[in-house]
Amino acid sequence: MSIKYIWRHLLCLMKMFILIFVILLYYNDRIKQNKTLPLKLSCLNVNKTKYESEISIFKLRLNQRLFHLGQRFSHININKLLHIQSSSTKTFTYFCSKFCGGWGDRLRGITSAYILAVLLQRRFVIDMQYPCNLTNFLLPNLIDWKPIYRIHQQKNSLKLDIMYSKYADKVISHMATDNLTQIWLNYDNIFFTTNNDLISIVLKNPFFKLIKSQINIQSNESTQQELFPFLFEFLFKPTSIIINKIDELFLKSSLYFNQSIICMHIRIGQSLTLRNDKKLPFRQAIVHDMLEFIDKNLTDSYSSIFVTSDSYQIQQDIYKHYGNNRLLSVSGPIIHIDRLNTKMESNETLYHGFVKVISDFYFLGECDTLLRPRSGFSEWAGRRRLKEYSNLYIYCRGIHRVTSSKWRRPYNLC
Ligand SMILES: *[C@@H]1O[C@H](CO)[C@@H](O)[C@H](O)[C@H]1NC(C)=O
Ligand SMILES: *[C@@H]1O[C@H](CO)[C@@H](O)[C@H](O)[C@H]1NC(C)=O
Ligand SMILES: *[C@@H]1O[C@H](CO)[C@@H](O)[C@H](O)[C@H]1NC(C)=O
Ligand SMILES: *[C@@H]1O[C@H](CO)[C@@H](O)[C@H](O)[C@H]1NC(C)=O
Ligand SMILES: *[C@@H]1O[C@H](CO)[C@@H](O)[C@H](O)[C@H]1NC(C)=O
Ligand SMILES: *[C@@H]1O[C@H](CO)[C@@H](O)[C@H](O)[C@H]1NC(C)=O
Ligand SMILES: *[C@@H]1O[C@H](CO)[C@@H](O)[C@H](O)[C@H]1NC(C)=O
């Protein structure tokens, strides 16, 4: 399959979606003309929800994003990436069976592992079953990274967990300067666990120069920050349970507060909701500061407000502040996918909690305005926004506007 073919196909799909979208807008307007609210609701609740889940606004936006990324990264040799994945018999697996960090950490690990797999010209696999199977929430998009068989036993394997080990520094120094292909030549399958950003390190390794130029990764984009939006969409697409969650939010925001979406990620660390979580300093005033900022500086009173937080109490307080109609949030239990007590939580809670984590992650990529603390989770989510630096605010002992990649936070700890 040529890249031209893929993009032409996508373009065609997009045109179709746009047509449907226009019809939908028209339909939407007709309903809105009906003045009596209760009738409006009963109409929409029953039959419109069904109608819209078939024509998913979220899927439409995912396609627009793919199209946009296809242009921005049009120089990347996708055929080469597809070829490596389909032709190699050796594998390189991102492996997570316990304690591999929260979703932000895991994304750092997964994207690093993928670039390593490509440079080593091995088939990339994601094996993440902790605390439940990743494939419940995310599916392969352009390459199939699902494990084919349980490989541990038969073949010559190497397990490398550099998250908590003493040899991490040594492995990382190999990655920077040595011929890893040679070092790992005798291993058919490599299982790799990390939450590090290794992308800029391995892309500078002189032994990978040739393959890097074949894939055509430019030197000014050889960082995790630059490549993330491409890598995430290249690897993943959401399952229908996630798509439906997000479409519910789009539907609600189109009903009442339709101008734009302001998003808040509020992470305070160890709270009554997440007792096993780590403590985070300088977050006591985050809720107060964010609300004050939204109410005073962002005066668009027709904006919906989306919130995701690590505390039920905060979520409740914010609902009280903005009211049910204006506030958007993904329903479900609040969990930290790594720092949890698997003996205490039921499998159902873990499952629904994970659904919420992935849905929150996707929705943060759809915001017109994003307020976030220092956090891997919302950093990666924010990098998915089509205009990454448009209306972006970071909380670091106060609210700061971020306008480009050159921004540095005013305090190290915050
Ligand atoms: C909604 O759909 C059901 C069956 O699909 C139909 O019986 C019902 O009358 C519809 N309601 C409205 C308000 O159109
Ligand atoms: C995840 O899925 C795989 C393959 O479908 C299955 O073998 C495994 O038991 C599942 N793991 C969990 C924790 O459910
Ligand atoms: C690295 O090692 C592999 C395997 O021995 C070899 O084929 C390759 O040529 C080496 N790369 C470079 C740039 O020397
Ligand atoms: C990298 O440089 C090229 C031109 O040399 C430019 O078009 C592109 O926008 C730059 N990319 C980034 C991420 O700065
Ligand atoms: C949003 O809703 C208001 C009030 O219902 C309406 O006047 C306005 O035209 C709508 N704007 C858009 C962009 O749909
Ligand atoms: C929860 O899932 C794990 C892994 O699939 C399984 O071993 C365990 O028995 C399940 N617990 C319950 C209560 O179903
Ligand atoms: C919010 O508005 C106040 C008063 O106009 C201003 O001093 C402050 O700099 C604004 N905050 C940000 C982060 O732009």
Query: Which ligand minimizes its atom distance to the CA of 182?
Result: 3
- Whether 139 shows a pLDDT value over 60: the answer reads yes
Distance 343 CA to ligand 6 centre (A): 10
Distance 319 CA to ligand 3 centre (A): 59
Binned at pLDDT 50, 70 and 90, residue 9 comes out as: low
Q: Is the CB of 184 under 6 A from ligand 3?
A: no
Mean local confidence (pLDDT), 95-123:
96
Amino acid occupying residue 145: W
At residue 70, the pLDDT reads 95
Binned at pLDDT 50, 70 and 90, residue 278 comes out as: confident
According to DSSP, residue 391 is labeled: T
Mean local confidence (pLDDT), 228-244:
97
Binned at pLDDT 50, 70 and 90, residue 151 comes out as: low
Q: Token match 């799909």: residue?
A: 13
Binned at pLDDT 50, 70 and 90, residue 154 comes out as: low
* Of the candidate ranges 130-134, 209-213, 241-245, the one whose mean pLDDT is the lowest: 130-134
φ, ψ at 81 (rounded to 5°): -60, -45
At residue 272, the pLDDT reads 84
At residue 271, the pLDDT reads 84
Mean local confidence (pLDDT), 253-273:
90
At residue 270, the pLDDT reads 87
Nearest ligand 2 atom, CA 147: 4
Nearest ligand 3 atom, CA 185: 4
- Cα distance between residue 170 and residue 174, in whole Å: 6
Prediction pTM value? 0.84
Distance 258 CA to ligand 5 centre (A): 6
Distance 205 CA to ligand 4 centre (A): 21
- Whether 116 shows a pLDDT value over 90: the answer reads yes
Identify which of 370, 403, 247 has the alpha carbon closest to the alpha carbon of residue 303.
Answer: 370
Binned at pLDDT 50, 70 and 90, residue 258 comes out as: confident
Amino acid occupying residue 363: F
- Going by alpha carbons, the residue nearest to atom 4 of ligand 2 is 133
- Whether 134 shows a pLDDT value over 90: the answer reads yes
Nearest ligand 4 atom, CA 226: 13
Looking at every residue in the chain, the average pLDDT score rounds to 88
Distance 402 CA to ligand 7 centre (A): 13
At residue 28, the pLDDT reads 47
Distance 65 CA to ligand 4 centre (A): 19
Question: To test ligand 1's pocket by mutation, which of 45, 46, 49 has the most ligand atoms within 8 angstroms of CB?
Answer: 46
- Whether 32 shows a pLDDT value over 50: the answer reads no
Instruction: Give 45-74 pLDDT, tens digit per residue.
Output: 334 444 444 689 999 999 999 999 999 999
Between the alpha carbon of residue 369 and those of residues 144, 300, 392, the distances in Å are: 33, 11, 6
Q: Is the CB of 239 under 6 A from ligand 3?
A: no
* Of the candidate ranges 26-30, 172-176, 235-239, the one whose mean pLDDT is the lowest: 26-30
Mean local confidence (pLDDT), 245-268:
93
At residue 10, the pLDDT reads 65
Domains of the chain: 74-238 (no CATH), 246-402 (3.40.50.11350)
Q: Where are the alpha helices (DSSP H) in 73-130?
A: 78-87, 103-120
Mean local confidence (pLDDT), 297-312:
93
Share of the chain above pLDDT 90, in %: 74
Beta strands in 75-175, from DSSP E residues, in sequence order: 91-96, 123-128, 138-140, 157-161
Asked whether the beta carbons of 172 and 162 are under 8 A apart, the reply is yes
- Whether 118 shows a pLDDT value over 90: the answer reads yes
319 or 40, greater pLDDT: 319
Distance 347 CA to ligand 6 centre (A): 6
At residue 29, the pLDDT reads 42
Binned at pLDDT 50, 70 and 90, residue 398 comes out as: very high
> Residue 11 is encoded by which pair of tokens?
């373009």
Q: Is the CB of 47 under 6 A from ligand 1?
A: yes
Query: Which ligand minimizes its atom distance to the CA of 74?
Result: 4
Mean local confidence (pLDDT), 115-127:
98
42 or 215, greater pLDDT: 215
Binned at pLDDT 50, 70 and 90, residue 15 comes out as: low
Nearest ligand 7 atom, CA 400: 13
Nearest ligand 7 atom, CA 393: 13
- Whether 33 shows a pLDDT value over 60: the answer reads no
- Going by alpha carbons, the residue nearest to atom 1 of ligand 2 is 133
Query: Which ligand minimizes its atom distance to the CA of 347?
Result: 6
Query: Which ligand minimizes its atom distance to the CA of 346?
Result: 6
At residue 276, the pLDDT reads 82
What residue ranges line ligand 7, CB within 6 angstroms? 296-297, 399, 401
Nearest ligand 1 atom, CA 42: 13
At residue 277, the pLDDT reads 86
Question: To test ligand 4's pocket by mutation, which of 71, 220, 221, 222 has the most ligand atoms within 8 angstroms of CB?
Answer: 220
- Cα distance between residue 293 and residue 163, in whole Å: 38
Mean local confidence (pLDDT), 231-245:
97
Q: Is the CB of 219 under 6 A from ligand 4?
A: no
Distance 80 CA to ligand 2 centre (A): 31
Query: Which ligand minimizes its atom distance to the CA of 256?
Result: 5
- Cα distance between residue 115 and residue 181, in whole Å: 14
At residue 149, the pLDDT reads 66
